[in-house]
Chain A
């Protein structure tokens, strides 16, 4: 087996050195009758060529985003990732290293974490950011728990514009911990009355911007009302590229900002791995979940970086920890921070501008299709259209024509009476030909 260096002679020599007759003697603590004697009913070792063929066959059954006109978003976005990113993240010293427990031989990881934290803080307009969560949805769950610790209250209010999967993750976690959650109904037009839900028992208000329907929201009044009642505003985003174009949540008074970083540097990957971004006001750092990287000096005074404030974490605090998270999204962080370094603010602003321009073009074209209404007053690179027909069937019909048109709202919110709504995203990848093909096919299908 190509991955195993020991030869049979080595094995015999080593068993002799250990002083046991065979390897099963080392498994003597396995209870009687529980040590397997027969091989498991699975195929035998395969060579690289054969494995590659098997995997390629399965991969070939899926329609890749880059092979068709592609407009699917709703929390994961197809963007162009520079070739440099994927080359660099595959360097052995990054790919095969671990959590930087030994900082003297992990300054590479630690420095990019420090740079990443700085980038995320700048993008979100917040004072501090951590070294990542698993993804935006689990990060949102952690943000709610953090708000509960800060406020010593146990009730979260979720906007109806929050991604339904995110809301479900929060509800699952809260139900398990016996915390209260008020989930507002789906808010297609961003006109819900969330302010009246905030009272003196509210721990936090969770609002997404741009929301899951693509609307842009002013969070300022929500922050003001929440803070007047001693509650926190948790601002969520699923499209980090939007922050190149819109007012960042920090500037609107958010206490915690959490969201999905997949759009920068990371592939779609059918939903994972992604990277959760998590930022907050600095007065709350001791209640933050996850790893934090901090600057310090070595014994000669040279600048260096270490994981810090680890007394918040599970390996020290155990059942009193701020979270159970251990492994996070290191390599996805690296992809994010390299891509963001390549972009800089100049590139990010331009990228955001192109995304918005493409979405506006598409929205205007779709609005010209008979039976289609664009519902959003404002949007960034995603918006909601009303089709007058069940969107799921329309999407299937378009897929059959080789166009991946978007996400039917009913897929995220079944039985909500929103079956004729479609979420459509457009990024820099879309060409005029893509848009023309989409609009023509949609006109045929409707």
Chain B
């Protein structure tokens, strides 16, 4: 009304068109070259004085010639990585419903405690007498993990979930060997819906893999397992809640069947966030289960790690736990680093890693546990499950559920039946979510569901956030059904980069920067 300056109140037609910029940048979105294209071999962002002259003891081993690495000054470095960060989507950016990955809030208190010099600035091989607080963290974390899972032992050292799987399966292999059945029990049962790491782990340590068929309702049937059991079966690797987001209803019977057949039950604990404080794997007959501290206990995913994969073990497997571990004798903790020093009754199967595991992650996870408490952790699981089911309820009239007969746990699984005939694929739908400001859900996993879309909101989302997410997916779903194909097949339109040619990347692998050959000067 009072726009006396003649200031335009809406964009002109021209302004809505794509304007090419001189730099190729789009305001906050900056094109950032590689460090090799902007740095120089003589540049460094670190000032270190040259040492006083001295007599080298490198002998004939001194490096000859240049390394071939550029450096950047500190301001250039800062700008390079800040610009790169702006091309990334994180949990702090928005809803990150990547199923099976539990992208929950990463509290900065956990970062603060992990950086206390008494934790971060401590060497794994300094005298044990100088690190009682480190052993205390490990014992306290162990106590929490054992209490939450109802299991009597835990091996802390595995570095991530798949490493934890290997640790648990090695303990099983050692236990089988101790019974003299190593030559016969060589087969591991793995459901078709399992994470790829399960069969890969079994194969890694010398087992062969036999598939357990998926039932139509997304669960594993005890009869199907029983039909496969025999003297050659070493174990089953079963995820619970499973990768379809369902709590396996026959898990207790499956565990009992395995034990009756002289075999073991490895549980993939990737989805533990659904049941903390609600159900304990130890009550279900589990022999070994890894816990992804970077999922359930919120240590940051960090662009793909580091993780941590402690493994809880049953009474039957505990003696085989790898070194190192802490043994408490008369109230005094002792760090056992070598099998030869193991207390009587312990026969460690070996060692998973140098040193003692992911201390930095133990501190973060323990900080999470102390902050939440028993009540907060239980509430977190309930909220995670509630949020997933709320999303499911908000979308199930438009998108198809492969397994409508079971409630979802902490993740809601849809298939692509509802997209049939639209010309829009699960991948297209995911890419269109990017334009709407969301990280896509997990797609095409589990493999047993066609065009799977696995949505895990976690407990970190507010109701308002979920409502907007549901509304957005509903709008997208109606657009997909309403022939607005271009919104999907060419998506993302608004990301820092358009859809990438992955086939080209695999056919002609370019895995490092190579200095371009000088362009020959054009003849005059």
Q: A30 and B279: CB pair below 8 A?
A: yes
Q: A324 and B197: CB pair below 8 A?
A: yes
Q: Once the chains are docked, how many angstroms separate the CA of A193 from the CA of B371?
A: 56
Q: A31 and B252: CB pair below 8 A?
A: yes
Q: Once the chains are docked, how many angstroms separate the CA of A115 from the CA of B37?
A: 11
CB contacts (< 8 Å) of A318 on chain B: these are 196, 199-200, 209
Q: B123 and A5: CB pair below 8 A?
A: no
CB contacts (< 8 Å) of A62 on chain B: these are 118-119, 122, 130-134
Q: A308 and B383: CB pair below 8 A?
A: no
Please give me the residue from chain B that is nearest to A285 by CB atom: B509
Q: Once the chains are docked, how many angstroms separate the CA of A377 from the CA of B15?
A: 72
| Of the residues B45, B92, B162, B294, contact of A314 by C-beta under 8 Å | B162
Q: A269 and B359: CB pair below 8 A?
A: yes
How far apart are A439's CB and chain B's nearest CB, in angstroms? Answer: 17
| Of the residues A6, A39, A55, contact of B116 by C-beta under 8 Å | A55
Q: Once the chains are docked, how many angstroms separate the CA of A317 from the CA of B204?
A: 13
Q: A114 and B512: CB pair below 8 A?
A: yes
Q: Once the chains are docked, how many angstroms separate the CA of A96 from the CA of B278?
A: 27
For the complex, is B488 an interface residue (Cβ under 8 Å from A)?
no
Q: Once the chains are docked, how many angstroms separate the CA of A16 from the CA of B181?
A: 54
CB contacts (< 8 Å) of B408 on chain A: these are 26
- Given contacts A25-B407, A43-B373, are A99 and B304 in contact (CB under 8 A)? yes
For the complex, is A129 an interface residue (Cβ under 8 Å from B)?
yes
CB contacts (< 8 Å) of B120 on chain A: these are 267-269
For the complex, is A278 an interface residue (Cβ under 8 Å from B)?
no
Q: Among the interface residues A78, A178, A314, A376, which one has the most CB atoms of the partner chain B within 10 A?
A: A314
| Of the residues B98, B126, B367, B460, contact of A5 by C-beta under 8 Å | B460
For the complex, is B341 an interface residue (Cβ under 8 Å from A)?
yes
For the complex, is B184 an interface residue (Cβ under 8 Å from A)?
no
- Given contacts A46-B373, A59-B133, are A327 and B305 in contact (CB under 8 A)? yes
CB contacts (< 8 Å) of B116 on chain A: these are 55-56, 59
Q: A330 and B354: CB pair below 8 A?
A: no
Q: Which of B391-436 contact A (CB under 8 A)?
A: 392-394, 406-409, 430-431, 434
Q: B393 and A17: CB pair below 8 A?
A: yes
For the complex, is B502 an interface residue (Cβ under 8 Å from A)?
yes
| Of the residues A107, A112, A314, A348, contact of B196 by C-beta under 8 Å | A314
Q: A41 and B147: CB pair below 8 A?
A: yes
- Given contacts A27-B279, A104-B497, A138-B352, are A414 and B338 in contact (CB under 8 A)? yes
| Of the residues B50, B69, B130, B512, contact of A404 by C-beta under 8 Å | B130
CB contacts (< 8 Å) of B361 on chain A: these are 272-273
For the complex, is B385 an interface residue (Cβ under 8 Å from A)?
yes
- Given contacts A18-B389, A59-B119, A105-B89, are A346 and B41 in contact (CB under 8 A)? yes
For the complex, is B148 an interface residue (Cβ under 8 Å from A)?
yes
Q: Which of B300-354 contact A (CB under 8 A)?
A: 300-308, 322, 337-338, 340-341, 349-354
For the complex, is B67 an interface residue (Cβ under 8 Å from A)?
yes
- Given contacts A29-B247, A314-B200, A343-B45, are A176 and B278 in contact (CB under 8 A)? no
Q: Which of B460-506 contact A (CB under 8 A)?
A: 460-463, 465, 490, 492, 495-502, 504-506
Q: B499 and A104: CB pair below 8 A?
A: yes
- Given contacts A88-B82, A306-B500, A327-B160, are A165 and B44 in contact (CB under 8 A)? no
Q: Among the interface residues A108, A177, A404, which one has the most CB atoms of the partner chain B within 10 A?
A: A108
Q: Once the chains are docked, how many angstroms separate the CA of A96 from the CA of B303?
A: 7
CB contacts (< 8 Å) of A415 on chain B: these are 340
Q: Once the chains are docked, how many angstroms separate the CA of A168 from the CA of B209?
A: 26
Interface readout for A135-155 with B: 1 if CB under 8 Å, 0 if not? Answer: 111100000010000000000
Q: B371 and A216: CB pair below 8 A?
A: no
Please give me the residue from chain B that is nearest to A129 by CB atom: B512
Q: Once the chains are docked, how many angstroms separate the CA of A54 from the CA of B140?
A: 11
Q: B459 and A40: CB pair below 8 A?
A: no
- Given contacts A75-B354, A114-B513, A358-B51, are A342 and B77 in contact (CB under 8 A)? yes
For the complex, is B117 an interface residue (Cβ under 8 Å from A)?
yes
| Of the residues B52, B341, B498, contact of A298 by C-beta under 8 Å | B498
Q: B48 and A273: CB pair below 8 A?
A: no
Q: Once the chains are docked, how many angstroms separate the CA of A342 from the CA of B302?
A: 21
List 12 other contacts, CB 8 Å, given A314-B162, A351-B46. A55-B113, A65-B121, A88-B77, A96-B103, A105-B434, A119-B69, A169-B354, A176-B173, A270-B131, A297-B504, A327-B292, A415-B340
6 A-B pairs with C-beta separation under 8 A: A41-B147, A52-B112, A72-B126, A86-B115, A270-B355, A353-B51
Closest 9 interchain pairs by CB?
A344-B71, A59-B118, A172-B350, A271-B355, A331-B302, A61-B133, A271-B124, A273-B306, A357-B51
